[in-house]
Structure 1
Amino acid sequence: MTVERNTAVGAFVLGGTVLVLAAIVLFGNFNLFKPSIRAAVVFQDSINGLSVGSPVTFRGVPVGAVERIAIQFDPESHIAYIPVTVRIEPGRAVVERHSNAAPIDLSQLITLGLRAQLNTQSFVTGQAEIDLDFDPESAPVLHANITSLPEIPTRQSTLQRAREQLSQLPLRELADNTDATLQSLRGLTEKLDQDLPPLVESLRTTADRSAQAVAAASQAVGALQSRLDVTLGAINRVAMTSDRQLTQRGAELHTLLASSNQSMRQVRDLLGELKGLAASRGTARTNIESTLTDLAAATASLRGFANDIEHNPQLLLTGRRP
């Protein structure tokens, strides 16, 4: 009975151990049957936030982790390098070739432009990660004397590029220009403090005078409007009177026009008669010419008699002797 109980306990423990190992193999991060790929990423700047176990991602997809971080000084260039060893799991990243999945050929991917950059994983905790991506335009910089592992070239992250651009800015010159600008603004403010009160007072006086002028103009316009109303009324009355007078004089004008037409006919007849008198063969003209001849002869006789009397006034008393 005791042997059977011990056998059952042993079988139960063995089964639990098998289940635990199976769970670790299936759901854990161990690759017991597939060898992982180890590579190096060499940094020169600070890798603050990066530690052993930090994730290695490809465009945000986890493909491995940081295995080792070291510091190596190059006596020739006098530069300290930070080689970071990463482990990439082949089960998480495969290269599709037609229909067959082949393991990652790291050297080929590096030739195609695979680059690594340091990214901040969380701004709250400050943890960092290494992100992989393709950037063929980025020239690869390798360090053969730093590591013997396959090296993935690095490229600057957005934050590093921004920091480099900020470091290249002429901050001292900008600060001096800003200080000079502030001093100019201070001087301008002081000058405005001195000049603005008189200007404001002048504007206030001008506004008051403008208000008075507007009031006077309003009064003048009101008076002019009343006068214009009177004038327009008078003009209307004159127009109405003229209409009535024209209406009353219409008959008289008609009569006057009729009389004028009759007078014009009489004048036309008179001109016709005068034209007949002036005709060269008319009887009236002949009589008028004879009369004028007799009058001329009588005038000549009277002129001779007047001359004789002028020379001999006694002729009026004695007359001419035979």
Structure 2
Amino acid sequence: MTSIKQKSLIGTFVLGSIGLLIVAVVFFGSGLFFTPKTPVVLYFQESVGGLSVGSPVVFRGVQLGQVTGIKIEARINPLSFSIPVTIELAHNQIQLMNPKKKGTSLASELNMSKEAFFKELIDKGLRAELYSKSFVTGELQVMLDFAPDTPETYYAHDPNILEIPTKPSKLEKIARTLESLPLSEITDHLLSAVKGIDELVNSEKMKAVPEDLSTMLTNADAVVQKVKTDIGPLIAQVEKTFASYKALADDVGKNLPALTESYTKLAQNADEQIRTMAIEAKAAMLKLESALDQGQKTLVDLRKTAGPNSATVTDLQKTLNEIAGMARSAKSLFDFLERHPEALIQGKGQRR
């Protein structure tokens, strides 16, 4: 009997030691137990279910403190309730990058009081919100971060305690969004849509769709067979047409050298004839120029006998001038034809 009592006592002692070890790990393992702390109050306007005393307070995943108290405050006029959550923030969790100043708080390094330091952080957007620590257990933690686009609202009446403004959690925002949705109207629309789909699926027209589809496929198959039947003669006709065009092209290719040679000979003969004609015409122009010179001498003699203002002298002078201009134009033409006899065939444009 005594042996059984001793075993029970030993078991109780072992369990107690394990419990003390767990408590030591929880309170001493975080490194916050003997650290100087600053009390801060947070006012949440949403449910804090899942948050408890000892829940961590983190800044971007790094624990800076823990929750020390949760209570409900009531106001009479008007009757309202709020939930102040007291937390403690450790002083030495934020370390300066200068190793020589290790252990110096950020506020003292900035030469600011704690109140002024937190006011500076709040002005830059420091806010607190509830954040899910575990979706399985539903535990919550307090998360601190900067959100300068959120309002800065205070609820505390005690000037001796610091207050950090809060903002709704993401879950609270989702809940508010769901509350604002016209769920009844959406449900009615969904039911109406489901009913319409059910009526369409079970309608006589939908029942006839397989038969109509089978008929359509049969007709399509008949069209395909018809095309297969008619495409053969059509392809044969196209191939025959291509063969005719090929024969014509081959014939043109065979006769083209002979046609080119004939054209070249004709052009050469024409060039020779035109060049000869141009030379003969130039010879005639020389004779015409000689006649014009003789006419000028005659005009000089006539002026001496009939006078310079005689009508005969004037008419003769005009005639000689017109013949001289015509002779110059003809001479220019014959000179050009002598150099380019092909111009009579191709024209005076760009030579080809």
TM-score (norm 1): 0.54
8 A contact 1:83–1:147 mirrored in 2: no
8 A contact 1:116–1:132 mirrored in 2: yes
Q: In structure 2, what is the Cα distance between the partners aligned to 1:162 and 1:38?
A: 31
Q: Describe the superposition over 1:108-157 as per-residue Cα deviations: whole angstroms up to 9, x where unpaired.
A: 43344321111011223322111112223322221135896322111112
| One-letter amino acid matched to 1:137 | D
| Structure 1 residue matching 2:42: 3-state secondary structure | strand
Q: What is the match of residue 89 of structure 1? A: 90
The question of 1:142 aligning with 2:145 is answered no
| Structure 1 residue matching 2:202: 3-state secondary structure | helix
Q: 206, 209, 213: which one pairs with 2:222?
A: 209
How far apart are residue 224 of structure 1 and its match?
6.3
Q: In structure 2, what is the Cα distance between the partners aligned to 1:129 and 1:173?
A: 36
Q: In structure 2, what is the Cα distance between the partners aligned to 1:144 and 1:100?
A: 26
Q: In structure 2, what is the Cα distance between the partners aligned to 1:149 and 1:97?
A: 19
| Structure 2 residue matching 1:50: 3-state secondary structure | coil
Select the structure of larger CA radius of gyration.
1
Q: In structure 1, what is the Cα distance between the partners aligned to 2:228 and 2:150?
A: 78
| One-letter amino acid matched to 2:162 | P
How far apart are residue 60 of structure 1 and its match?
1.8
CA, structure 1 residues 114+224, in 2 after alignment: closer, same or farther (shift >3 Å)? closer
8 A contact 2:58–2:143 mirrored in 1: yes
| One-letter amino acid matched to 1:205 | T
CA, structure 1 residues 27+172, in 2 after alignment: closer, same or farther (shift >3 Å)? closer
CA, structure 1 residues 48+183, in 2 after alignment: closer, same or farther (shift >3 Å)? same
CA, structure 1 residues 216+117, in 2 after alignment: closer, same or farther (shift >3 Å)? same
The question of 1:80 aligning with 2:92 is answered no
8 A contact 1:95–1:103 mirrored in 2: no
The question of 1:167 aligning with 2:179 is answered yes
Map 1:96-175 onto structure 2 (within 5 A).
105-145=117-157, 149-175=161-187
Q: In structure 2, what is the Cα distance between the partners aligned to 1:88 and 1:75?
A: 32
Q: What is the match of residue 29 of structure 1? A: 32
8 A contact 2:32–2:65 mirrored in 1: no
CA, structure 1 residues 149+208, in 2 after alignment: closer, same or farther (shift >3 Å)? same
Give the fraction of aligned pairs with identical amino acids, expressed as a percent.
Answer: 30
Q: What is the match of residue 259 of structure 1? A: none
Map 1:1-322 onto structure 2 (within 5 A).
28-31=31-34, 34=36, 36-93=37-94, 94-95=105-106, 105-145=117-157, 149-191=161-203, 192-218=205-231, 220-221=233-234
| One-letter amino acid matched to 1:30 | F
Number of equivalenced pairs: 209
| One-letter amino acid matched to 1:52 | V
Q: In structure 1, what is the Cα distance between the partners aligned to 2:202 and 2:211?
A: 14
| Structure 1 residue matching 2:163: 3-state secondary structure | coil
| One-letter amino acid matched to 2:89 | I
How far apart are residue 64 of structure 1 and its match?
0.8
8 A contact 1:72–1:146 mirrored in 2: no
Q: In structure 2, what is the Cα distance between the partners aligned to 1:176 and 1:88?
A: 51
| Structure 2 residue matching 1:77: 3-state secondary structure | coil
Q: In structure 2, what is the Cα distance between the partners aligned to 1:173 and 1:74?
A: 37
How far apart are residue 98 of structure 1 and its match?
6.0
Q: In structure 1, what is the Cα distance between the partners aligned to 2:190 and 2:77?
A: 43
CA, structure 1 residues 59+216, in 2 after alignment: closer, same or farther (shift >3 Å)? closer
Q: In structure 2, what is the Cα distance between the partners aligned to 1:193 and 1:25?
A: 73
8 A contact 1:41–1:116 mirrored in 2: yes
CA, structure 1 residues 108+217, in 2 after alignment: closer, same or farther (shift >3 Å)? closer
Q: Describe the superposition over 1:265-311 as per-residue Cα deviations: whole angstroms up to 9, x where unpaired.
A: xxxxxxxxxxxxxxxxxxxxxxxxxxxxxxxxxxxxxxxxxxxxxxx
How far apart are residue 42 of structure 1 and its match?
1.2
8 A contact 2:57–2:141 mirrored in 1: yes
| One-letter amino acid matched to 1:42 | Y
How far apart are residue 27 of structure 1 and its match?
8.3
CA RMSD of aligned residues (A): 3.6
| One-letter amino acid matched to 2:196 | S
Q: In structure 1, what is the Cα distance between the partners aligned to 2:29 and 2:173?
A: 41
CA, structure 1 residues 76+55, in 2 after alignment: closer, same or farther (shift >3 Å)? same
